[in-house]
Amino acid sequence: MDDLCGIARHVLKQNYHLSIVLIGDRRARTLNQTYRNKHTAANVLSFPIDTAHGEIFLNVARIEREAHRFNLSPHGHLRYLLIHGCLHLNGHQHGSTMEQAEQRLLRALKIR
Q: Could you read off the pLDDT of 39-49 as tens digits, one per residue?
A: 999 999 999 99
What CATH number is associated with residue 60? 3.40.390.30
Q: How many domains does the chain have?
A: 1
Distance CA 4, CA 102 (A): 15
Can you give the pTM of this predicted structure?
0.92
Share of the chain above pLDDT 70, in %: 98
Residue 46 φ/ψ, nearest 5 degrees = -115, 135
**Among 78, 33, 26, 25, residue whose Cα is nearest residue 56:** 78
Domain that holds residue 44: 2-108
- Output the DSSP codes for 16-54: -EEEEEEE-HHHHHHHHHHHH---S--SEEEEEEETTEE
